[in-house]
A and B are shown apart, each in its own frame.
Chain A
C-alpha cells in the first residue's frame, strides 16, 4: 500500500454517473478514498451502509468520502440505488484496477481492490492509510474519525 507522507498518484476515474473525477478536483480539500472489493457483496454492503449513517458528520469535518472499486459506473449507480446511499463511487473499471494498483490497493489474485482507507490532504499528500488485515474485516467508521482528528480536521 501507499504510505503516509507520499504524494497521492494522480488519477481520473468515472463516477457512478459516468462523470470524470480527478484527484486535482480535490485540491484544497481533504479526500478519503474507501477501497472496497465489490459492489453488492455482503461485507461491502454493510461497510458502505454504516458509513452512510455518519456521512454528514464526515462531511462536516471538511472531508469528501469516495468509494472505489473495479465495478463499472453502471454497476455503481445500481448499487447506490439499491443501498440507498449517497456516497459517491469511482469506477476503476478500465483499464481494470489501474488506479488502485498505483495506490497498492489492487489484489491481483482476486482481481479486485482490497479493503482499505486512504486520507489525502489538501495538497494531494497521503496523510493516513488503513488496510484491513483481511478483506472480510470492515474498518469501523470510528477509524475515519480518528484519522481526521489526528490530521487536524476540524
Chain B
C-alpha cells in the first residue's frame, strides 16, 4: 500500500527518454492534454536537457494510455521524441489508423510497433513513470522539475 507514498522525483534512469543538452528539466506530461501540447512547443525549444516522463490521466483523456504506449513503442525503434512531437503538434488525429500513419511516416516497423504498444512491458514502463510522478506530488499536467523541485511553467 505504501508504494505511492511521497518520494523525491527519481534521478535520470538509463531508459529515460532524454533529448537535448543543458540544464536538466524533467517533464511529466500527458500526450492527450491540451495544456501539455501548448507548453511542449515552448519546452521543446528550450536549450535544455529534456527528460520526458509519462503521466497519462486516463479518466480525463481516455486516449492518453494508448498514446503513451505508442510513444514508448516508437521509442524502442529510436523515434520516441519524433512521435511525441507529432502527437502534440496534431492532437486531432489520434485513433489507431492515425497512429499507424504516423508510425509509417517515421519509418517504423509497423508490425513491431503494433505489437509493442500493446505489450505489458510497455504498459508497465508507462505506469512506472506515472507512479513516480504521483510519489513526487504531480497533481496536474504538465509538471516540470528542475533540481528535484517543481518549477512553475512561467519560470522556465
Contact = CB atoms under 8 A, between A and B. Distances in A.
Nearest to A147: B5
**Chain A, interface size: which category?**
20 to 34
Contacts of B58: 53, 84
A123 B5 CA distance: 24
Contact of B1 (A49, A141, A149): A149
Nearest to A149: B2
Nearest to A60: B1
Interface of B: 1-7, 57-60, 62, 130, 134-141
Interface of A: 43, 45-47, 49-50, 52-54, 57, 60-61, 83-85, 138-143, 145-146, 148-149, 153-154
Given A49-B60, A53-B59, A140-B6, 19 more contacts: A43-B140, A49-B57, A50-B57, A52-B59, A53-B130, A57-B4, A61-B1, A83-B59, A84-B58, A84-B59, A84-B60, A84-B62, A140-B134, A140-B138, A141-B4, A142-B136, A142-B137, A143-B137, A145-B2
